[in-house]
Structure 1
Amino acid sequence: MRGNLRAALITTERFTLEPLGVHHAAEMAKALAGTAIYKYIGGQAPTAEELEKRYAAQSVGSSPDGRQTWLNWIIREQGRSIGFVQATVEADGPTSDVAWVVGEEFQGRGAATEAARAMAAWLRHHQPSVRITASIHPENTASASVARHLGLTPTGHFDEDGEEQWDDSLLTA
């Protein structure tokens, strides 16, 4: 199933998760503007042109070597783009690393949690044995809260960027 896994439209009570396309770049540049978002994830607000290049690569759906499936969704609220969720599914094992970003203007209302839960449910439906992981900066309490709502727990292991690895091994054990 992994080889055929493609992002599909997902709906929640408040949001639509729309599969990513290059045409989302201009509106997402507006949604991702600001500086606070990048405090823990690094970088800076991308331009529409930068997002066009990024989205062109991501919307292909897999890494050039075929070892990863890339699933990306734009979070829409009443037709307006407010952020994104994404999952990178590894071909050599049922692991999916997930992430979420919601624009500053739209934070604090549970959007990341609702969208990430919907994405995780979709992943688990399409790959029941999937192990879900996330990388979270130790001071990013908002993302830690989202991860907990997904059933993820901190592992105590940190990557080269200083982010702690979280996973759902307690759910799948």
Structure 2
Amino acid sequence: MTGILRAELITTDRFTLEPLGVHHAAEMTKVLAGTAIYKYIGGQAPTAQELANRYAAQSVGSSRDGRQIWLNWIIREQGRSIGFVQATVEADGPTSDVAWVVGEAFQGRGAATEAAHAMVTWLRHQQPRIRITASIHPENTASSSVARHLGLTPTGDLDADGEEFWDDSPPTGA
């Protein structure tokens, strides 16, 4: 990969993907409140301080050893934050693990699909041969639908957390 990737402002028909900063913590605490969004991803709603600490680490842009590039965006709809998308790009190979979370109040309207698609399109523009992957709980039908819209397919392999590995590689034998 030539040069280091940095999250840039991305726009869609309905949303703006704004590069993540520590200043987003307070408003995102409200977006990430509730319990339903943690059913499949685990954990619980973070406090503003927990988010500030997390965002401070993530907005550095890469792991200490430089092996991963961290790209994170806040999804905005008409100026208000409604969720986030993120990509962890492996610096030594063109692979990016992507994820998305939309607040409970904003789900069911295609926000995750549109925002994740915009992020993946941006990634592929930056690195045309990038392989896109995601890890999704097998019962999370909403995230599975987003992944399918991104051209990802389930592999049948589960990670230690019980999430299924999805990718955009052609199935074996194809």
**TM-score range relative to shorter protein:** over 0.9
Aligned to 1:160: 160
Aligned to 2:102: 102
Contact 1:67–1:92 (CA<8 Å) still a contact in 2? Answer: yes
Aligned to 1:14: 14
As a proportion of its length, which structure holds more helix? Answer: 1
RMSD: 1.2
- Measured in 2, the distance between the counterparts of 1:4 and 1:46 equals 29
Kindly provide the amino acid, as one letter, of the partner of residue 47 in structure 1: T
Kindly provide the amino acid, as one letter, of the partner of residue 37 in structure 1: I
- Number of aligned residue pairs: give it: 172
Contact 1:2–1:69 (CA<8 Å) still a contact in 2? Answer: no
SS in structure 2 of the partner of residue 4 of structure 1: coil
Give 1:77 deviation, angstroms.
0.2
Contact 1:73–1:85 (CA<8 Å) still a contact in 2? Answer: yes
Kindly provide the amino acid, as one letter, of the partner of residue 119 in structure 1: M
Runs of 4+ with >6 A deviation: none
SS in structure 1 of the partner of residue 98 of structure 2: strand
Is the alpha carbon distance of 1:66 and 1:116 closer, same or farther for their aligned partners in structure 2, counting shifts above 3 Å?
same
Aligned to 2:87: 87
- Measured in 2, the distance between the counterparts of 1:117 and 1:95 equals 16
SS in structure 2 of the partner of residue 169 of structure 1: coil
Unpaired segments of 5 or more residues in structure 1?
A: none
SS in structure 2 of the partner of residue 37 of structure 1: helix
Kindly provide the amino acid, as one letter, of the partner of residue 72 in structure 1: N
Contact 1:69–1:91 (CA<8 Å) still a contact in 2? Answer: yes
Find out whether 1:130 has 2:130 as its counterpart. yes
SS in structure 2 of the partner of residue 24 of structure 1: helix
- Measured in 1, the distance between the counterparts of 2:121 and 2:95 equals 14
Kindly provide the amino acid, as one letter, of the partner of residue 104 in structure 1: E
Aligned to 2:113: 113
Give 1:2 deviation, angstroms.
4.9
TM-score by length of 2: 0.97
Aligned to 1:75: 75
Kindly provide the amino acid, as one letter, of the partner of residue 99 in structure 1: A
- Measured in 1, the distance between the counterparts of 2:165 and 2:24 equals 29
Kindly provide the amino acid, as one letter, of the partner of residue 170 in structure 2: L
- Measured in 1, the distance between the counterparts of 2:110 and 2:4 equals 31
Give 1:170 deviation, angstroms.
2.2
Percent identity of equivalent pairs:
85
Aligned to 1:56: 56
Give 1:91 deviation, angstroms.
1.3
